[in-house]
Amino acid sequence: MKLDELDTPAALVDVTRMNRNIARMQSRMNALGVRFRPHVKTTKCLEVVRAQLAAGADGITVSTLKEAEAFFAAGVTDILYAVSIVRSKLPRAMALRQQGCDLKLVVDNALAAAEVAKFCAAQRETFEVWIEVDTDGHRSGISPEQDGLLEVGRILHEGGIKLGGVMTHAGSSYDLHTPDALSALAERERSGCVRAAQRLRDAGLPCDAVSIGSTPTALAAGKLDGVSEVRAGVYVFFDLVMHNIGICSTDDIALSVLATVIGHQPEKDWVILDAGWMAMSRDRGTSKQTRDFGYGLPCTLDGTPLSDWILSSANQEHGILSPVHGTRGKSLASRFPIGTKLRILPNHACATGAQFPEYHALSADGETTVWSRFHGW
Amino acid sequence: MKLDELDTPAALVDVTRMNRNIARMQSRMNALGVRFRPHVKTTKCLEVVRAQLAAGADGITVSTLKEAEAFFAAGVTDILYAVSIVRSKLPRAMALRQQGCDLKLVVDNALAAAEVAKFCAAQRETFEVWIEVDTDGHRSGISPEQDGLLEVGRILHEGGIKLGGVMTHAGSSYDLHTPDALSALAERERSGCVRAAQRLRDAGLPCDAVSIGSTPTALAAGKLDGVSEVRAGVYVFFDLVMHNIGICSTDDIALSVLATVIGHQPEKDWVILDAGWMAMSRDRGTSKQTRDFGYGLPCTLDGTPLSDWILSSANQEHGILSPVHGTRGKSLASRFPIGTKLRILPNHACATGAQFPEYHALSADGETTVWSRFHGW
C-alpha cells in the first residue's frame, strides 16, 4: 500500500533512514574494534533485528523474557537479558536455556546471585551470568569499587555459575546535550566497567565480557579500550529526545506516526488530529530538554518538518496541533484542511512504537509493508 | 492461578472493586433517569464490557473503529464512535453498518458532514450521525450558540443522513478537584448540550439523543433534565487521577500492576521494581494535581496502600520506589527484600491497561483468570 492509503493513526518506519542509522552505528563500532549487541526493546520487531544482524551485530540485548523467547524462536541464540533476574523468573529463563538458547542473565546483588546458584544446583544445569555495574548512579548496578562486586562474583563462581562478564548502562546520558559532556560520560561508563572487570580478574574470578552502552554514549565514545561489546537500542530509529541530546538530526528519525486532520478550533489555533496519546504515547521526554516538542513534531507526508508547529496536547485519540509562535486564526482550515495527512515525529521511539501492533515499513519507492511487533511480558 | 504465581509485571483487575464501581455508576444513572453508554476505550476487554451491559448499560461508546469491530463481532450492536469521522474512515465504518451494526458516527464540521452525505449517496446507504458539541472548550466540537451547529445539522439532514442527536464530553473535568467545581461543570455540560439540541429542534431538525459525560461530571451531576444518555469510561477501574479529583478512594481503584522487587540502592533510598514505564505507561497525570504519585502508589499484595512510598521514577523495565518523606537507608532491603511482590495503583487506568495484552482478573477467592484485551486501530 501507498502511504496515503493507510488507515490512521499508523506507525511508519522510513526504511532508508533506519538502514542509514544501522550502518552508522555498526561502522562506528567496527572502527572502535568492539562487538555490537543491539537492544531490541526499542522495536520488538523481527525485520528490524534481522537488518541489525545482517549489518554485523553480534547477538542481541533484551529487556523481557518475552523478547528472548520471541527472538530465540526466530533463530537468534546469543541473548543478554539485561534486567536483574529474580527467583520467580528462573524457570522461564531455564526453559530457554534447555532449548539451546545462549541466554545470559544479569544480577546486581548477593541474594539474586545465591538464588541463581541454588536454582541451578537443584536443576543440575547452569546459567551464564553477568554482573551489572553502576557507572553513573542513574538506576541499578554495583559501583566498581564496592565490596559487593567481588562478593557477588564469588557467590556466582563458587556456586558453579559461569561468571561471563560485567555490563553497565549510562542511562544518565539522556540528560545531557553537549558533545563534551557526552564524551566525558562515555569515558566514565567505559572506565568504570573496565575497572569492575579488572577487580574481578584481580580477585581470581573470570570476566570475559565488558559490555557497555547507551545510544548517546555509544556515539560519543572516542576509544573503547578494555571493552568487548557495546549495546544500544534507540539509535535504530532515533527520536526527538535524541535530537535534543545532539546526536541526530530530525532527518535521521526513522519512526513517525501517520495522522489525519479531523477538525479545527480556529479561535484557539488548534488543528485536531486523530493521533492522541494512545498513538504517540504519554512520553514527554522533551519537556525538560532545551526544546520542548510537546507530543511530537509534525511533518508533511513526504517527511519535511513543519518546524513552527508542535503537537501541543493530547487526549486518548485526539491530538492538538498548534503553532509555536503567533496565531493563525481562520487560515488554519485552509493550511490544514480536514483529511490532510501528516507524519508526527515522536519524543521517544521506544514508547511510541509500543503503542502499535505493527509498523508500516516505508521503502524508497513509496510502498509500505507490514512489520509486526509484539508487546507484553 | 494465585496472585503470587503470576509472572510480573502483570495487570490485575480486582473484580470485586470493578463490580462495585459498575454498580455505583449504573445505579446513579438509573436514579437520574438516563441511559448509560459506557466508553470501552478504557478496557478494550469483552469480559468487562459484558459486566457493564449485564448491570444495565445501553450500548457502548468507542474511540476507534477497531473497538467497534471487536465488540460488534462479540454481539454488541448499539455503538457510538465518538471521534469526528473523516472521509478515509467511511468505508470501514460502512462495512460495519452493512453487517447490521447500529454504528453512530460523530462530526463537528461542515466538510466532514458533507463528505458523509456524499459518500452515503454514492453508496445508496445511510449512517446515523450525531453532532459533537463543545461545552467546555477543551477539545473538539461546535459551541451550542455557533452558527455552524445549524449548518452542520442541515447538511446532514438535507443530505439524507439520519441526524440522531448531539453529544459532548466535558473533559476539562480532569482539571478540577472540588465538588462545587465538578457540579458546576456537570451543569454546564448538561445545559450546553441540551441547548444545542433545542436549537436544532427549533430549526426543524431532528435531534433525539442528547449524550453527555465524563466520569467526574457523571458522578457530580445533580439532575440531568433534557439528557437522554450519559457516557463514561474510567469509572470502571478508577485511578489515582480520579482519586485526586475527589470522586473515588484508593480502595475503589480496581486496576493495579503486580511487580517484583529486583534490587536496591540503599544510599539513594531506592527500591528497584520490574515495573517501569512500559508497565505503568508514561502517564504522569497526577503531576499537576494536589498530590503527585509519581508513576504510581505501591500497595502490599493484599491491596493495602503504602502511603509513604511512591514509584518516583521509571525506565522502560525498571521502576524506582522511594519514600515520600525522609530516608530509610539500609533498612530498605529488609523492608522490601528481593522477590517481594507489590501492587502499584496507576495514575491513569486507560493508559496503563493499554500497555498489557491481558488483564489478570482477581476474584474474591484469590484466584485469577486471564481476560484478554486488544490494542491498535
Task: Please give the pLDDT value at position B89.
Answer: 98
Per-residue pLDDT tens digits for B129-163: 999 999 999 999 999 999 999 999 999 999 999 99
Residues of chain B contacting A284 with CB distance shorter than 8 Å: 282, 284
Q: For chain B, list the strands marked E by DSSP.
A: 10-14, 35-36, 60-62, 78-81, 102-107, 128-133, 162-168, 209-212, 229-230, 255-265, 270-273, 297-299, 309-314, 319-323, 341-345, 358-362, 368-372
Q: Are B42 and B242 in contact (CB under 8 A)?
A: no
Q: What number is the average pLDDT over the span A163-186?
A: 97
Beta carbons of B356 and A376 less than 8 Å apart: yes
Q: Where are the alpha helices (DSSP H) in A12-170?
A: 15-32, 46-54, 65-73, 90-98, 110-123, 147-158
8 Å CB contact of A265 and B111: no
Q: Which of A300, A288, A262 is nearest to A348 (CA)?
A: A288
Which of A291, A295, A301 is CA-nearest to residue A258? Answer: A301
**Contact indicator for A153, A93 with CB cutoff of 8 Å:** no
Rounded to whole angstroms, the Cα distance separating B263 from A108 reads 7
Reduce the DSSP state of residue B324 to 3 states and report it.
Answer: coil
**Which residues in chain B (133-152) have CB-CB distances under 8 A to chain A?**
134, 137, 139-140
Q: At B4, is the pLDDT very low, low, confident or very high (cuts 50, 70, 90)? A: confident
Q: Which residues of B touch A360 (CB under 8 A)?
A: none
Whether pLDDT at A326 is above 80: no
B351, A377: Cβ pair inside 8 Å? Answer: no
Nearest to B217 by CA among B229, B228, B227, B231: B231
Check the CA dihedral B133-B137-B138-B139 and report its sign: positive
Cα separation, A289 vs A287, whole angstroms? 6
Q: How confident is the model at residue A193 (pLDDT cuts 50, 70, 90)?
A: very high
B62 pLDDT higher than 80: yes
How far apart CA B349 and CA A216 sit, in angstroms, is 33
Q: Is B338 on the interface with A (CB under 8 A)?
A: yes
Contact A261 B88 (CB under 8 A): no
Domains annotated for chain B, with CATH where assigned, are 16-236 (3.20.20.10), 250-372 (2.40.37.20)
Cell matching residue B144: 451550542
- Tell whether A215 lies on the interface with B, counting CB pairs under 8 A: no
Q: Residue type at B250?
A: T
- Quick one: cell of B299? 500497595
Query: Quick check: B60 pLDDT over 90?
Result: yes
- Interior/surface letters B280-292, b for 16+ CB within 10 angstroms, e for the rest: bbbbbbbeebeeb
Distances in Å between the alpha carbon of A94 and those of A112, A124, A162, B370? 15, 11, 14, 24
* Residue B374: alpha-carbon gap to chain centroid: 15
Under an 8 A CB cutoff, do B317 and A64 touch?
yes
- Cβ contacts (< 8 Å) between A232 and chain B: which residues? none
Please determine, for residue A327, whether its predicted confidence score (pLDDT) is greater than 80.
no
Position B197 scores a pLDDT of 98
A-B CB pairs within 8 A amount to 151
- DSSP 8-state assignment for residue B100: T
Chain B interface, best mutation among A4, A6, A7, by max B CB count within 10 A: A7
Residue B34 predicted with pLDDT over 80:
yes
**Rounded Cα distance, B53 and B79, in Å:** 12
Residues 274-333 of chain B with CB under 8 A from chain A are 274, 277-279, 281-284, 315-318, 320
Predicted confidence at residue B48, as pLDDT, reads 98
Q: What is the pLDDT of residues B198-222, one digit of tens each?
A: 999 999 999 999 999 999 999 999 9
Look over chain A and give the mean of its residue pLDDT values, rounded to a whole number.
Answer: 97
End-to-end CA separation in angstroms for chain B: 31
The gap between the terminal CA atoms of chain A, to the nearest Å, is 31
| pLDDT at residue B13, as a whole number | 98
Grid cell of B53 as nine digits: 451491559
Measured CA to CA, the distance from residue B67 to residue B45 in angstroms comes to 9
| Residue B171 contacts residue B217 (beta carbons within 8 Å) | no
Choose among A372, A361, A371, A369: nearest CA to A16.
Answer: A361
Alpha-carbon torsion (A16, A18, A19, A21), positive or negative:
positive
In this predicted structure, what is the pLDDT of residue A331? 86
Half-sphere exposure of B277 (CA within 13 A, CB side): 21
CA torsion, points A27, A32, A35, A40, in degrees to nearest 10?
A: -60
The nearest alpha carbon in chain A to B372 belongs to A376
pLDDT over threshold 90, residue B265: yes
Answer whether residue A370 shows pLDDT above 90. Answer: yes
Contact (CB, 8 A) for A109 and A148? yes
**Which pLDDT score, from 0 to 100, does residue B151 have?**
98
C-alpha triplet A67, A71, A73: angle, nearest 5°: 120
Instruction: Tell me the pLDDT tens digit for each residue of A331-352.
Output: 889 999 999 999 999 999 999 9
Q: What is the predicted pLDDT for the residue at A52?
A: 98
Q: Which three cell numbers stand for residue B118?
A: 456524499
Cβ contact, residue pair A260, B355, below 8 Å = no
- Measured on CA atoms in the order A87, A91, A97, A102, is the torsion positive or negative? negative
pLDDT in tens, B91-129: 999 999 999 999 999 999 999 999 999 999 999 999 999
Torsion of CA B20, B25, B29, B31, to 10 degrees: 50
Torsion, Cα B270 B273 B276 B279, to 10 degrees, reads -150
pLDDT value, residue A138: 94
Of the candidate ranges A2-6, A80-84, B28-32, B84-88, the one whose mean pLDDT is the lowest? A2-6
Q: Which of A105, A118, A140 would you mutate first to test chain B, the one with the most B CBs within 10 A?
A: A140
Is pLDDT of B330 > 80? no
Across B169-175, average pLDDT = 96
Of A86, A375, A376, the CB nearest to B338: A86
pLDDT score recorded for residue B192: 98
Partner-chain residue, chosen from A281, A320, A339, that has the shortest CB–CB distance to B86? A339
Query: A73 to chain B nearest CA, in Å?
Result: 20
DSSP-derived pairing of the beta strands B319-323 and B270-273: antiparallel
Residue A166: what pLDDT? 98
Contact B111 A338 (CB under 8 A): yes
A47-51, A110-114, A323-327, B69-73: least confident range: A323-327
A199, A150 Cβ separation under 8 angstroms: yes
Q: Which residues of B touch A109 (CB under 8 A)?
A: 263-264, 338
Average pLDDT of the residues in B320-327: 90
**pLDDT attached to residue B1:** 87
Q: What angle (nearest 5°) sits at the alpha carbon of residue A12, between those of residues B278 and A3? A: 155
What pLDDT, on the 0 to 100 scale, is given for residue A123? Answer: 94
Q: Measure the CA–CA gap between B180 and B38, rounded to whole angstroms.
A: 25
